[in-house]
Amino acid sequence: MPSRPASAQRMIREEHFRQMKKSAVFVNTGRGATVDEESLIKALQEGWIAHAALDVLEKEPPSHNNPLLRMESTTLTAHVASASARFDEARKRRVGYELSLVLQGMWPVSCVNPSVLQNTKLRRWQPVSMDRGPNS
């Protein structure tokens, strides 16, 4: 990861989440360290915002006990939502396909934590085992 100024560390804090609408969806596809993750977790738990969609986390890979991994109000992707010129066409299509499945109410093909899928309103359509890992 390229170095970034210290001023960018945790620049989105509790005060910012408190100012958002309760219906807000917070999206971070940039740098995980720019968000105070504890404040984000608090904002979701206390209903200051409705949802968080995160492609990056403050610590990657995340700890197994990171609350964001278990929250229904959080959508996580496997750090693949880059918008750079290096983002190849196949990955763009894959991200689009995964999103289209979820938006149609179906399970995505790849899921970092597939055991959470059975607790959602999404429909299972794949004839695959729940024991599969991401991208297998």
Tell me the C-alpha distance between 16 and 23, whole Å: 14
| Annotated catalytic residue 70 | no
| Annotated catalytic residue 31 | yes
Tell me the C-alpha distance between 83 and 30, whole Å: 9
Cβ-contact 79, 56 below 8 angstroms: yes
Tell me the C-alpha distance between 13 and 27, whole Å: 14
Pair of tokens at residue 24: 């807000």
Selected catalytic residue, list 10, 16, 31, 94: 31
| Annotated catalytic residue 10 | no
Selected catalytic residue, list 60, 72, 93, 124: 60
Pair of tokens at residue 36: 């105070």
Amino acid at 52: A
Give me the active site residues, please: 31, 60, 79
